[in-house]
Amino acid sequence: MPELPEVETVRATLENEIKNEVIVGIDLYYSKIIQNELEWFIKAITNQRIHRIDRMGKYLILILDDFAMIIHLRMEGKFYIKTNEEIDKHEHVIFHFGSGRNLRYHDVRKFGTISLLDINTYLDEYPLIQLGREPKNLEYHHFFEMIKNRKTTIKQILLDQHIIAGLGNIYVDETLFLSRIHPTRVASSITLEDAKHIIFSATQVLDKATKLGGTTIRSYTSSLGVHGRFQNELNVHMKQGEPCPVCQTEIIKMKVGGRGTYVCPKCQH
């Protein structure tokens, strides 16, 4: 699943490729991806220019003349820029540009979503209004106040986009390893100092992963000719049976909140 660094890589690549393009038509092959009424969506988006592409958490935001197009890639959503190539069976939404090129949304599982909101109010509407802050914008004492009475595990807390935006399974595992915190610890047991370590580590992990273009692993491969290199920097995620890079203890895999989780049982006692 693409997380913040992967989505940021897609954002930057798309902005470089399609900024100032005008959408002159759209083909829909799986309409459930569109969250608006279809006839209105098609009419509203036609002849809209793409001014820039923003991101909040894991959401892509295409800023148009009158609207903001909010996109969530979910598990396997990708974009391709093509011209007259044959349509792939997993290309469900195709935006045609005045230049003759087209932007194709490709999604094997069909979990992704695309919605069109008014440019003046989109930040105050669902889904963006529900997002927590990204780690780099979240004060650790504020994070501590939000979680100090929660009885769920710290891993589930960090995966909750309402509390902290942008982290997914890969980067939560890496954050907790750097913080020396076991993922099954109940959030209410996290101290103020622990919270400080978590926010610092999360920011460090996301910054480094973003600089390296994200993580390309079997569960997520980018498109647009972009492939991340952070998988070469992973400490514990997908490292079951390998030695911990700090203490050489064998890394184990467990389930936390239904998610595969990688832990050093010594460093994260």
Which tops the pLDDT comparison, 5 or 49?
49
End-to-end CA distance of the chain: 28
Residue 146 predicted with pLDDT over 70: yes
Residue 218's pLDDT band (cuts 50, 70, 90): very low
Those residues with Cβ within 8 angstroms of residue 8's Cβ, 6 or more apart along the chain or in another chain: 55, 210, 214
Catalytic residue, chosen from 3, 21, 76, 91, is: 3
Catalytic residue among 19, 49, 133, 259: 259
Give yes or no for a contact between 71 and 114, defined as CB atoms under 8 angstroms apart.
yes
Backbone angles phi, psi at 72, to 5 degrees: -120, 125
Q: What are phi and psi of 251, to 5 degrees?
A: -75, 135
Mean pLDDT of 81-97: 96
pTM of the model: 0.91
Q: Is the pLDDT of residue 9 over 80?
A: yes
Share of the chain above pLDDT 70, in %: 94
> What residues contact 35, with CB distance under 8 A and at least 6 apart?
113, 114, 115
pLDDT score at 100: 97
pLDDT on residue 220: 47
87 is written with which tokens?
A: 């349509």
Q: Is 245 a catalytic residue?
A: no
Rounded Cα distance between 200 and 187, Å, is 17
* Mean pLDDT value across the chain: 93
pLDDT at 192: 98
pLDDT digits (tens, 9 = 90+) for 237-263: 999 999 999 999 999 999 999 999 999
Residue 102 is predicted with a pLDDT of: 97
Handedness of CA 3, 264, 158, 254 (dihedral sign): positive
Helices (DSSP H) in 1-128: which residue ranges? Answer: 4-18, 38-45
Residue ranges of domains in the chain: 4-130, 135-233
Residue 104 neighbours by CB under 8 Å, 6+ apart: 79, 80, 81, 82, 87, 88, 91, 93, 94, 95
- Closest listed residue to residue 107, CA positions, set 150, 148, 76: 76
- CATH architecture, range 4-130: Alpha-Beta Barrel (3.20)
> What pLDDT shows up at residue 214?
74
Beta bridge partners of 78: 106
> Residue range 190-205: average pLDDT?
98
**pLDDT, average across residues 86-90:** 96
Provide CB contacts within 8 A for 92, sequence distance 6+. 28, 29, 30, 33, 105, 106, 107, 110
- Report the percent of the chain where pLDDT is more than 90: 86
Whether 230 shows a pLDDT value over 90: the answer reads no
Residue 223 confidence (pLDDT) above 90? no
CATH class of 135-233: mainly alpha
Which residue from 192, 161, 76, 60 is spatially nearest to 114, judged by alpha carbons?
A: 60
Instruction: From the candidates 2, 5, 135, 183, give the one annotated as an active-site residue.
Output: 2
* Residue 229 designated active-site: no
- Identify the pLDDT of residue 225: 58
pLDDT value at residue 224 = 67
Alpha carbons 234 and 229: distance in angstroms, whole number: 10
pLDDT-based confidence at residue 37 (cuts at 50, 70, 90): very high
pLDDT of 228:
62
How far is it, in rounded angstroms, from Cα 8 to Cα 214?
8
pLDDT at 120 over 70: yes
Element (H, E) at 255: strand 252-256
Phi and psi dihedrals of 153, rounded to 5?
-75, 155
Question: Would the pLDDT of 64 be above 70?
Answer: yes
pLDDT band at 118 (very low <50, low <70, confident <90, very high): very high
Which CA distances in Å does 49 have to 21, 23, 25, 44?
6, 6, 12, 12
pLDDT at 219: 44
Known catalytic membership, residue 49: no
3 in active site: yes
Q: Which of 5, 11, 21, 58 is catalytic?
A: 58
- Tell me whether the omega of the peptide bond preceding residue 2 falls within 30 degrees of 0, making it cis: no
